[in-house]
Amino acid sequence: MASKGNRNAVTLACVDCKQRNYQTNKNKKNDPDRIELSKYCKFCHKHTTHKETK
Ligand SMILES: [Zn+2]
């Protein structure tokens, strides 16, 4: 039963190399703005900030 909630699929892109490394879901209610997470980028070989992108 798929419900129309506030859950949206978002893509997280490395701010250094712009590669889209991760996909996740976010709750629009909890995160109305673009989210930022520190994650490992296999292209930069280090942890970088990953920002939500469209
Ligand atoms: Zn990167």
Task: From first to last of the 54 residues of the chain, give the pLDDT tens digit.
Answer: 556 677 789 999 999 999 999 999 999 899 899 999 999 999 999 999 999 998
Residue 27 CA to ligand 1 centre (angstroms) = 25
Query: Measured in angstroms, how far is the CA atom of residue 2 from the centroid of ligand 1?
Result: 34
pTM of the model: 0.82
Find, among 7, 27, 24, the residue nearest to 51 by Cα.
24
Around ion ligand 1, which residues have CB less than 5 A away?
14, 16-17, 41, 43-44
pLDDT in the model for residue 7: 78
pLDDT at 53: 94
Q: Among the CATH numbers 3.40.50.1010, 2.30.110.10, 3.40.50.2300, 2.20.28.120, which is that of 8-53?
A: 2.20.28.120
